[in-house]
Every structure is written in structure tokens, then in C-alpha cells.
Amino acid sequence: MSETERTTSNAANSVREAAAQATDAAAGAVDGVKDAAASTAENVKGAAASAAENVKDATQNARGAAESAVTATKDAAADAVAGAKDTLDDTVDGLKSAATQVKDAGADALDAAQAQAQHAYESGRGAIDDGVGFVKEKYRENPGLVIAVGAAAALLLALIVRGITRR
């Protein structure tokens, strides 16, 4: 396996690993969102149950005093709203964090892919320059041989193309 093929293989593996990391980060973000949504639902359910219990207690304790029952209901509703607001804020923070993680993972994957591609280009370019230098050197030594090898390669390429197009 040549250096160019190894570099290309390394670049492909790096891109695959970066894609897997981005996929894992996205899956983690989705799990975070699911957990935050489930937590929000439980908190709202708990707050609603708590509000209902407070209303029941206030009604039983204040049968003769309607004003006391109204005040207790207002307090319970305010607590439920405050609890729901806190839960919603936590959910928004979780979503922001998950989005940031996905963005960072994508940026890291892109940077790794760019670095591998640059390295592959530089290695390939070096191999091409070495090959061209070798051919030039051989041409200076024996131009007839280089021309004959080039003609044979062109003929072989033409035969391969002809064979492929016939199928």
C-alpha cells in the first residue's frame, strides 16, 4: 500500500470517526432533550398535584371563610406557575447546551477532516513531484525508452477503455 493510499485511508477513517462523534453528540443531545422534556412533564404534573392538594386543603379549612379559600388558591396557582417557569427555564438551558455540544462536535469533525485532507493533498503532491522528477531523470538518460514506455502505457489505456466500453 503506497503512502498516498495510506494517507487517503487515514483521511477516510478520520472522517468516519468524526462523523461517528457527531452522531454520538447528536444522539446525546436528543437524549438530553428527551430527559428535559420528561423532567418538565413530571415537574408540571407534580406542581399540578400540589396545587390541587393545596386547593382541597384550603377548601376544607375555610368553609366559613370564602376569602381565605381564594387567597390559598391564588398562592397555589402562583407556586405552580413559578415551578413551571423554573422547569421551562431548565429545559431551555438544556436545549442550548445540547445545541452547543452538537455545534462543537461538528466543528471538531470539520477541522479533523480538513487537516486530513490537507495532509493527503500534501503527501499526494509530494508523490507526484517525485514521480515527475524520476521520469525527467530517466528521460535525460534514455529518451527513447521513456517515449516507448509512454506509448505502451497510452496503448494499454486505450485497450482498457475499449474493453470497458464494449461491455
* The pLDDT of residue 124: 85
Domain 3-141 has CATH 1.10.287: yes
Q: Is the pTM of this model over 0.75?
A: no
Picking from 86, 94, 79, the residue whose alpha carbon sits closest to that of residue 30 is 94
Residue 154 has a pLDDT of 94
pLDDT of residue 50: 79
User: Alpha-carbon distance 30 to 14, whole Å?
Assistant: 24
Closest to 75 in 3D by CA, of 53, 59, 51, 56: 51
Place of cell 432533550: 33
AA letter at 113: A
pLDDT at 151: 93
CA–CA separation, 35 and 6 (whole Å): 43
Contact 91, 69 (CB under 8 A): no
pLDDT, tens digit, 9 for 90 and up, residues 72-112: 888 888 888 888 888 888 888 888 888 888 888 888 888 88
Nearest Cα residue to 113 out of 13, 3, 5? 13
Residues in the chain with pLDDT < 70?
Answer: 1-2, 4-6, 58, 62-69, 167
Please provide residue 96's backbone torsions phi and psi, each rounded to the nearest 5 degrees.
-60, -45
- In this prediction, residue 158 carries a pLDDT of 94
pLDDT of the residue at 64: 62
